[in-house]
Amino acid sequence: MIRKSTSKKSTAIKICGLTKTSQARSIAEFNINAIGVIGVKNSPRFVPEEECTKIFNAVEKVSSSIEKVLVIANEKLEEVKCINNRSTPPSVIQLHGNESVDYCRELKNEFPTIQLWKAFRLKSINDLENISQYEKNIDAILLDAWDDKSLGGTGNRVQIELLINKTFKAPWILAGGISAEIIPEIFSKIRPDGIDASSKLEISPGIKDMKKVESLVREIRDNN
C-alpha cells in the first residue's frame, strides 16, 4: 500500500504500463512497491484480461506485498464487478478517466476491499482545487501531466512548481515523464509519497529498458 510518508524520506516506487510477464517478474524482483497494467483498450500499452492475469500471477509469486494495479478509465460499475471476479484480481484499481466524486464513492461502497487510486491530470493550479472533494472516497491520489490527446503515458512532466508546499490528506503519487535523471530535481523541491514511471523507461510502448528501470529504482532508493 502507498502510505503517507512518516519521514521526509520514504517514497514508494510504482512501475506502470507493463505488457510482458517476464519483465513484470524481473521488475518485481527489484522489490518495488507496485506494478501497473493498462486496461484501457485504446492505449498502446493495453493488456487483455488473460495476459493481465499472467502478469499479476508472476508478480504475486515474487512477492505478495507488491500492489497489482489495473489502470482503467470511465468504465461502467458492472465492468469493475467483472474485474473484481477475475481469478487474480488487482489489489488496486487506478481510475485514469473523468470519473466523478459520486462514481468513486459508489465504487468504494460496492468494492470496499479494493484500493482505489484516482489520477488527476494537471494543466494549471486550478486543477488542484477539486482534488479535496475526492479524498474521502479514494485511497491515493496520482498526479499526471495534462495532454489534450491522451489520458496518460505521454512522457510529459508535471510542473513541479504547482506542487511546492501543496499538501493532501490522502497519499499522493507523482507521475509524468519520470526517469532516474530527474529524481534529484524532484526531491530537491517536493517529496511525493510515491513515484510512478512508465514511458520514459521504455524501448517501445509497453516494453521496458531494464537498465533504465534499475537506474530509477537505485536513484530513488539512494535518496530515500
Q: What is the pLDDT along the chain (224 residues), one digit of tens a residue?
A: 677 765 556 899 999 999 999 999 999 999 999 999 999 999 999 999 999 999 999 999 999 999 999 999 999 988 988 998 999 999 999 999 999 999 999 999 988 888 999 999 887 788 788 899 999 999 999 999 856 554 444 567 788 888 998 999 999 999 999 999 999 999 999 999 999 999 999 999 999 999 999 999 999 999 88
Residue 94: inside a domain: yes
- Contact between residue 166 and residue 198 where contact means Cβ atoms under 8 Å apart: no
Residue 38: inside a domain: yes
Q: What is the pLDDT of residue 7?
A: 53
Residue 1: inside a domain: no
What 3-state class would DSSP assign to 93? strand
- Contact between residue 119 and residue 99 where contact means Cβ atoms under 8 Å apart: no
Sequence letter at residue 15: I
Task: Say which CATH number the domain at 124 has.
Answer: 3.20.20.70
**Which whole-number Å values give the CA distances from 210 to 114, 124, 167, in the listed order?**
29, 33, 33
> What's the length of the chain?
224
What 3-state class would DSSP assign to 36? strand
Residue 40: inside a domain: yes
What is the grid cell recorded at 215? 537506474
Residue 48: inside a domain: yes
Residue 4: inside a domain: no
**Which whole-number Å values give the CA distances from 38 to 49, 55, 72, 130, 213, in the listed order?**
10, 11, 7, 25, 18
Count of CB atoms situated within 10 Å of the CB of 186 = 20
Residue 3: inside a domain: no
Q: Which residues form the domain of 43? A: 12-222
Q: What is the pLDDT of residue 152?
A: 45
Counting the structural domains of the chain, the total is 1
What does the alpha-carbon distance between residue 3 and residue 11 come to, in Å, rounded to a whole number?
Answer: 9
> Distance between terminal CA atoms of the chain?
17
What is the grid cell recorded at 13? 516506487
What 3-state class would DSSP assign to 123? coil
Residue 32: inside a domain: yes
